[in-house]
Structure 1
Amino acid sequence: MSHTSVASPPPLRPAHETKHIPILDYPFRALRFHLAQLDNGASNGTALWLGAQCLSLYLADNLKHRSPSSPGSTALAPDGKRPRVIELGSGIGLSALALASMGWDVIATDLPDVVSTVLSGNISRNLPQLPPHSGTVQVRVFDWTVPPDQWRWDHSCTIASSQPEKQHPAIQHGSILGPPFDLIITSDTIYSTALVTPLMRTLHALCKASLALSPEVRCPPVYLCLERRDPALVDYALSHAKDSWDFKVERIPQKKLAKAIEKTGALWDKNEWEDVEIWKLTLRS
């Protein structure tokens, strides 16, 4: 008697091994995302990076109580609203889709070229395939170099742009999301000294906006994931967050990240990801 063998799904591979693949068949928990990426050198944000992988795995392991499918889920707040997260530098959309699948409403943001070439399409392609009771993802253009007093939360396409006259594609479901936020995340965004101050100013302003609208709730934590390619730049960014922007800065223990990676069954050597760090920033005031 012959038996039909069922091919096992491909294993999770680190991002540096898959940048040549135009459409990633990406496993996340019981799901598979199909994520387009570009490796043409035009933008850092149009391909998958290791930081986004590691941050999504860590959050999946440590925020799983938010999933509507979990026993005793707390995905919905007492007022019936889902927890809300904004991501800076969403890239190809992995972390945004991961959190949406866990019951979060997500604002996924990036610069116009990233939004139009990969992010918007990946969200629109994968969002309908998420399980029932998942959260939603709204895609918006967000340029950190634009001062906070010029941001707008009532626009369906753009929070802040240096090219306001340019129309950007939007993915919207339901009313337009905005602050307050329960969580702020960003990964692979510490790569230029010139962008450190705009990034920290943006994180600070997002925390302040959340507190202003919901003062009875604690300040939303910021999870910042990076690869320590340039130690001097990383140290400068973390010191700047602490000394200039009043953030309490704590590193997530590496053993917690290792545990999250191991749970996926990924057989990654430690040297594949040992330069990845996740930092939790909490506004002191």
Structure 2
Amino acid sequence: MQKLDDGVVRVIQLSDCHLGADDRFTLAGINTSQSFRRVLARLENQLPACDLVAVTGDVAADGERAAYELFERAMPEGTPFAWLPGNHDNFSLMQGVMRQPFRRLVALNGWVLIFLVSAVPGRVGGQLADGELAELAQLLENCRDRHVALFVHHPPAEINCHWLDQQRIANHRALAELLAGFDQVRALFSGHVHQGNATRWAGIPVYSAPSTCFQFAPGSDEFDLCEQPPGYRWIHLRADGAIDTGVEFVGGDAQQVDRHCIGY
């Protein structure tokens, strides 16, 4: 499929790959390299028409160089992508290994996609540093005439999973106050929660993406996994600022998640 000249910006969101040092690594009973490659195989016909793949963190399970090298080998050559770190990643190492450097802003037609860093070394939960918020404010001030989509690892909104809601962006109120001054922000897309969720927060839609390996059980009070297969989110950003988006799951694999896993 070739790129269509219809003014629509097409984005694929991949998240929470949790790759290990080699193709044998498993987590919660899932070979994460195998599941990631299965998702990419499903996307084979879509990627040529895609304007960007947005990778929203936790590329690695434990921040290992070999995991990022594995990711690079798996991604189809020539695929445009932008990434940000998750709480399982090593941000400084990623910046030296990934062939695509960290990009704060990607401009596509009438849209600006802004990538935020919510991961804090040594912490599971999210936080936007003061400098991160200040830079975001300046970028938004410079882009008042463009539609804006934000990408970040941790969500700022609750998703009705008690244990995950404790890990959302801790200073989400400061983010909400900042965004109140910029009406061009159309949506925020996050990772971390291993499920395709949609809600409204601070006056804007907030979407999360499923993991490319295993999913957390929706509505769970404590850590719990479910049987949903690997997945991804597709995003269509229209010239008038409207957004079409949805999630797809990639089944048909013999792998079975270990529901007895008590953490990751």
TM-score (norm 2): 0.37
Greater fraction helix: 1
Larger radius of gyration: 1
Greater fraction strand: 2
> Which structure's relative contact order is higher, taking Cα pairs within 8 Å and 6+ residues apart?
2
